[in-house]
Structure 1
Amino acid sequence: MPAWRMTRPLAPRALQDSRRLGVRPVPVLQPLRWLALGWRDLRRCPLPGLLHGLALAVFGIVLALVAHRHFWLLTGAFTGFLLVGPLLATGLYAISRALEHGEPAALATAMRAWYPDDGRLVVFGVLLAFAGTGWVVTSAGLITGLSPHPIDNPMDFLRHVVLAEHGHVFEAWVALGALLAAPVFASSVVAMPLLLDRRVGVLGAVLTSWRVVLENPVPMALWAVLLTALTVLGMLPLLLGLVFVAPWLAHASWHAYRDLVVPAGSVEHA
């Protein structure tokens, strides 16, 4: 185990890790700049990003084909699919970092990011998966408990929940989703690229991510809306839009991290 992970108890070490990183306030419309820079990176090094996006789209299509008759399995699969998105984009963060430093960037650059010398990325990915599972269970309980009709497939959900003439089940479901998604977003918005880039613990990365959101509530709210809207748009044309949208947002997320987090010299590079 690396010495930097053993020097202090977990909570004090996490606080120290986070405090060694500055948080920069940004203008409200700064997320639009991140999208522009992300698109530039995708154009400069398209192959790794398009392969990542194609893999995600194919995986999503397979999920839909396998689970289309099992609504909660389908919902859980796609929820987990979206929540672990930051982990799946790890290789593309490495591409953007290489481009930023003027280093060669290729598919091998992205692949090397999947072989870290510690388990921090894996731990964070597991935490995101647990968050997705929790949402699916909570969501299923809400819909099953409040809907007057059984919900067995996507058409049932559309007919009896989304388009229901009476009751507010859909509104309650959306509100609950937003309530549960907000802390996950706040915990992960810069955590994954930070874990790739710096020698900080998982909890230290999460605390830094929360500091970013608290320091920039309006820009980060806009960023959350853009991430959600573009992802949904990418999923509409049979998920094929994800081929371009997923790598675009991944590269943009790297630039969000670089804009928002000010690394101190005492925090080592990963």
Structure 2
Amino acid sequence: MQILETEKALQQSRQFGVKPIPMLRPLGWLARGWGDLCRCPGPSLAHGLVLALIGALIFLLAKDRFWLLAGAFSGFLLVAPILATGLYVISRDLERGQKPSFATVLRAWRPRDGRLVVFGVLLAFAGTGWVMTSASLVTSFTSSPIHAPMDFLHHVVLNEESHLFEAWLALGALLAAPVFASTMITVPLLLDRKIGEVSILGAVFTSWRVVMEYPAPVALWAALIMLLTLFGMATLMLGLIVIMPWLGHASWHAYRDLVSTRD
């Protein structure tokens, strides 16, 4: 049964073509994403405010437990694709010549499509798994408590007698790389295609095809997302109000630029 489902998902994925892109195309996604943000600032920035508040809540809950905070923020990035669903809808409506509103975002946060709900739960499990793994790794292999950023810097990052930081980064990359490859265009594709056209697994296979076809531009895109998100966090989360919707809109254009849906 599982083999049949996998084969069906592969067949669904093959119906979507992968468009060729140049190395610096991700910069174009950012430009078009910024255009969408400027065309529909109210709902977009409201969405960004909610995500920034989530980030601030994470910080408040774990501010004295930096061993947990480091993993929590990286876990937040893992589930960001599903949190940006409303932004994809806004960009889709703008593309269709429609005028998105706050109601557009609210409808997106109450999805009737079970695929998005299930995929969101799977991402939440992945994010939670990384948070717990990160916290366990840091607390188990440090000789001193990690309560503040400076503790993490001294006892983990700059500890010459330990390779804990390298192990932490390697483990994070080991999880983040396949999750990013599985999510890069999955949520926009599920949102754009009806239930009978593509399953969660079919969308994930399509996302992996995109990544394997153009690894260099995809790596650049991942780096841009990471750098902009870190900058937003460094501004006491205020920058995320703009950066998160900007990246969300840009991600929709990445999907439209990479995947041929024949319509």
- TM-score computed with the length of structure 1 as normaliser: 0.89
- 1:83 partnered with 2:41: no
Shift of 1:82: 1.6
Q: Which runs of 5+ in 2 are unaligned?
A: none
Q: Match for residue 227 of structure 1? A: 225
Paired position in structure 2 for 1:177: 172
Higher alpha-carbon deviation: 226-235 or 14-23 = 14-23
Partner residue, 2:53: 58
**Is 1:242–2:230 an aligned residue pair?**
no
Is contact 1:72–1:136 with CA below 8 Å preserved after alignment?
no
Residue in structure 1 matched with residue 123 of structure 2 by the alignment: 128
Cα contact 2:13–2:202 (8 A) shared by 1: yes
8 Å Cα contact 2:68-2:134 kept in structure 1: no
Q: Does 1:101 align with 2:108?
A: no
Alpha-carbon deviation of 1:158? Answer: 2.0
Quote the residue 2:203 is aligned against. 205
Please list the CA deviations of residues 209-266 of structure 1 after superposition, one character each: whole Å capped at 9, or x if unmatched.
000000010000000000000000011010100010000000000000000111146x
Pairwise CA distance, 1:77: 3.3
The CA deviation string for residues 39-75 of structure 1, in whole angstroms up to 9 with x for no partner, is 0000000011110111111222222122212334434
Which stretch of the first structure deviates more once superposed, 21-30 or 252-261?
Answer: 21-30
Q: Deviating runs (4+, > 4 A) in structure 1? A: none
**Match for 2:259 among 258, 261, 265?**
261
Aligned AA (1:156): D
Root-mean-square deviation (Å): 1.8
1:100 deviates by 0.8
Other structure's SS at 1:84 match:
helix
Give the aligned partner of residue 39 of structure 2: 44
Amino acid at match of 1:144: T
Whole-Å separation in 1 of the counterparts to 2:174 and 2:62: 26
Number of residue pairs matched by the alignment: 258
Structure 1: segments with no counterpart, 5+ residues: 1-7, 266-270
* CA distance, structure 2, for counterparts of residue 105 and residue 158 of structure 1: 44
Kept in 1: contact 2:87–2:245 (CA 8 A) = yes
Q: Does structure 1 retain, via aligned residues, the 8 Å contact 2:78–2:176?
A: no
- Between 9-18 and 200-209, the greater mean CA deviation after superposition: 9-18
Instruction: Give, in whole Å, the separation in 2 of the partners of 1:116 and 1:55.
Output: 17
